[in-house]
Amino acid sequence: MTGVETLKHVTVLLQEAVEALAIKPEGTYVDATFGRGGHSRAILAALGPAGRLIAFDRDPAAVAASKAIADKRFTLVHEPFSALAEELDALGVVKVDGVLMDIGVSSPQLDDPERGMSFRFDAPLDMRMDTTRGEAVSQWLARATVAEITNVVRDYGEERFAYAVAKAIDAARSGGVIATTGQLAAVVEKAVRTREPGQHPATRTFQALRIFINRELEELSLTLPQAVARLDEGGRLVVIAFHSLEDRIVKRFMRDHSRPPALPRGLPIREADRPRPALDLVGGAMRPSDAEVSANPRSRSATMRVAARTAAAFVSEAQA
């Protein structure tokens, strides 16, 4: 039996992330990705009696795991983090002192065969982070066109044999729905002509389908401006990404909003009067230590970026 108690999750950059939040004992914080609560527990340990932590997760297993935290300062919201602004409004929270986002798939999700996220097990081809909503990968593959599959595998998996993979999936599904991870892995393995050292030929395709079916990049892009808009002056935004596509979104967002707003060319204005950016970058990109990678090899691709909210107005691209 697989249960939340049997699937171990090692929190990546645990102390570094909590330190980056620069926690105020009486502050209000958001853990946008509860997972199995590693970061949440560390944040609660740093908060005083009047502090508050609001955690988000769309995974029912993570929601179940959160029941182990019996702390009146803690609230768990069963929603994707793109619902951050709406849910904070519902809780009467106007501003927060920090937002932590540890994005991507968790070890329990990868290690639970029933989730269908890994080709290490032959299991139902699901891949949804929230198994109570939406469409499983098997359902999407049954109706998607070759062009749609090609685009997903190429854009989200950076797979150079994306078209060959899509054609192979199309041929295989003519004999019935590709219903299991084992079936899909076998199909992809035959279509990918060269193997990257130490990597299964289906790795990029599985990653692409998981990112797509969960709208992971879209969720991230929707949430970053909401997080900044809710930060009080001096509040910290801390984001840990495990994939280059995610980290690219975070890097560009923080970079763009740590620069002064663009002004019309030729406008006579003193440097001291230039509008300030909404964010200040805090240090550079941080990666796990050699010791952490040795103890937890899955941490090796993690990149953490930190920014602090200034007193300047924040204008998102959607508002500009």
- Binding-site residue set for S-adenosyl-L-methionine: 37-39, 57, 81, 102, 109
Helix axes 203-213, 181-191, angle to 10 degrees: 130
Nearest to 142 by CA among 125, 154, 127: 125
- CB-based contact 140:213 (threshold 8 Å): yes
Phi, psi (rounded to 5 degrees) for 38? -60, -50
DSSP 160: T
Rounded to 5 degrees, what are φ and ψ at 221? -65, -35
Alpha-carbon torsion, ordered 113, 118, 119, 122, to 10 deg: 20
Residue 262 identity: A
Per DSSP, the residues of 18-46 read: HHHTT--TT-EEEES--TTSHHHHHHHHH
- The token pair at 242 is 């495990």
Annotation: binding site: 37-39, 57, 81, 102, 109
As a whole number of angstroms, the longest Cα–Cα distance in the chain is 70
Question: Residue 86, by phi and psi: left (phi above 0), alpha (psi -120 to 50) or beta?
Answer: alpha
